[in-house]
Structure 1
């Protein structure tokens, strides 16, 4: 579906061709830049009138139908053919970079997710010397993992805290690697031997620990941690887990909760002040996370000494 569904032309960051209607088709749209050449959009749109879509650019495009019904849908991907069948929840369309996609639909209200991926960021998804691509085109394909990841990203797109942002980055990395493994045109035969999992060196580990400790009251991004280590976001996620035994999200959350517990025991600051000073957005945000982790609220923890 893509930005081709939007009422206004797409921003430059998401290079998708659009064909807006005069009637207010788009009901809602949220966009995320996920780093490492991946951008995400979640949208709901009204397609009561015949609607035409077109995608054609130098990035891979993944479209996942999340909800809603269509009375009619016809899609075509250059070099693959044409398909006439309405989309069901979980159906995906995968358009390799450089391929032209055209669609025409009519129905009610739909919700969908879209990822655009820069092939240069993922060696297995780069264009081949012959001018093609290693990524297979898909139409109305069902992949439960892709559906689940896209739905979770759509849910997280409304969250504004830094842990949600880090989780979005991690999920997008997983999604891209899954596409590479399961939907690569050259998948299956023999694969090169896997490289050993990277680990952070001691200097890298200390830089990461010090940075997190000094920024617990501020938003922490995967991109900033990656810059400290000189690794890509994807390599950082692997190396971080191998070195700390936890993901960055788990580690940062644990450090923030440790700071909260220490301040609850040693001081008499109000809980809102402690929450903000430990990287939580509000008293209620801290209380929800604290109770989920420990089974009691911060107030109960303080009362128990």
Structure 2
């Protein structure tokens, strides 16, 4: 039974490289999971409750960070504000990501899974919840155990939940243990429902990985200009109709949705990291007009470009 009103166990706000080695680590927090990074972030805060840990920290502008993350716990991470110009990483099993890290982007790293990473021009504040793998399996069997790694997805629900953990933890009263247990359980169920993949699409209509990368690389290199579906189809030797179906089966998005998503991601990075006008950012990202940009941006993020800049600017 949950004991409402009981405070979660809070570690000191500043955990240096030496003291972090003495933190109890049965529930792996990131203070130890991040030991293998070339430099540590600042302002570390850590709160624990039975079955979980919440941690947050920030990093001033740093030109380059590299290393790896690994934990015996399931880790869900989000960028609260700021970001990285480029975030490269490889996850056990061969999954790769190379692109900007933006506010509200999330990652899920299963227990015993290693991520090798490189960050370029990073300045951010992030938060994470570490779930004890055995406790989660007892609480919600099969919920996270079979969930594949998640890399760089934008998820406002997860961002808002971890931002609220951060807000409450910063208050004098801190986080309540019952609140942490209840909300982390809800987060586990959400992740399983939202990102679980119990069924697979027929392999025959998917694009092979190397062809999908060829298309994605072409799109990223030509975001500033018009991109024709016919040109993308020609890259992989398919008709436009067949390409459209195969691309959607492979990514869950139509080619146009994917292109717009990449343009919005480029614009979000510029809104947070540059002083350029919204109009200039729209044109640089390949949108035909500021009005078109505002409409697509709002449909992707739920905010206007100006509101997004005010929300996430460091």
Question: Scaled by the length of structure 2, what TM-score is found?
Answer: 0.50
1:51 to 46, 58, 65: 65
> Is 1:26 the counterpart of 2:48 in the alignment?
no
Give the corresponding residue for 2:281: none
Change (3 A) 1:88 1:97: same
Residue by residue, what CA displacement relative to the aligned partner does 1:213-268 show, whole Å, maximum 9, x if unpaired? xxxxxxxxxxxxxxxxxxxxxxxxxxxxxxxxxxxxxxxxxxxxxxxxxxxxxxxx
CA distance in 1 between partners of 2:146 and 2:55 (Å): 24
Residue by residue, what CA displacement relative to the aligned partner does 1:93-151 show, whole Å, maximum 9, x if unpaired? 111112111111022420001111112112287689xxx94122110012221111011
**What's the offset of the Cα at 1:162?**
6.8
CA RMSD of aligned residues (A): 3.0
**What's the offset of the Cα at 1:63?**
1.2
Q: Which of 1 and 2 has greater Rg?
A: 1
- Tell me the SS of whatever aligns to 2:100: coil
- Tell me the SS of whatever aligns to 1:12: coil
**What's the offset of the Cα at 1:165?**
4.5
Give the corresponding residue for 1:119: 133
Moved beyond 4 Å, runs of 4+ = 124-128, 162-165
**What's the offset of the Cα at 1:167?**
2.9
Structure 2: give runs of 5+ residues left out of the alignment.
1-14, 201-314
1:68 to 82, 88, 95: 82
Residue by residue, what CA displacement relative to the aligned partner does 1:67-102 show, whole Å, maximum 9, x if unpaired? 113222101111142111111111111111121111
2:38/2:66 contact within 8 Å kept:
no
User: For this pair of structures, how many residues does the alignment match?
Assistant: 178
Structure 1: give runs of 5+ residues left out of the alignment.
1-5, 189-305
CA distance in 2 between partners of 1:163 and 1:61 (Å): 19
Question: Scaled by the length of structure 1, what TM-score is found?
Answer: 0.51
Change (3 A) 1:162 1:151: closer
Change (3 A) 1:17 1:26: closer
Higher relative CO (CA 8 A, sep ≥ 6), structure 1 or 2?
A: 2
Give the corresponding residue for 1:134: 146
Give the corresponding residue for 1:12: 24
1:149 to 156, 161, 166: 161
2:70/2:112 contact within 8 Å kept:
yes
CA distance in 2 between partners of 1:67 and 1:46 (Å): 12
1:262-301, aligned counterparts within 5 Å?
A: none
- Tell me the SS of whatever aligns to 2:67: strand
CA distance in 2 between partners of 1:162 and 1:74 (Å): 34
Give the corresponding residue for 1:158: 170
Give the corresponding residue for 2:287: none
Change (3 A) 1:64 1:76: same
Change (3 A) 1:187 1:40: farther
**What's the offset of the Cα at 1:29?**
1.3
CA distance in 2 between partners of 1:59 and 1:187 (Å): 26
**What's the offset of the Cα at 1:46?**
2.3
Give the corresponding residue for 1:170: 182
1:60/1:118 contact within 8 Å kept:
yes
CA distance in 1 between partners of 2:16 and 2:84 (Å): 19
- Tell me the SS of whatever aligns to 1:116: strand
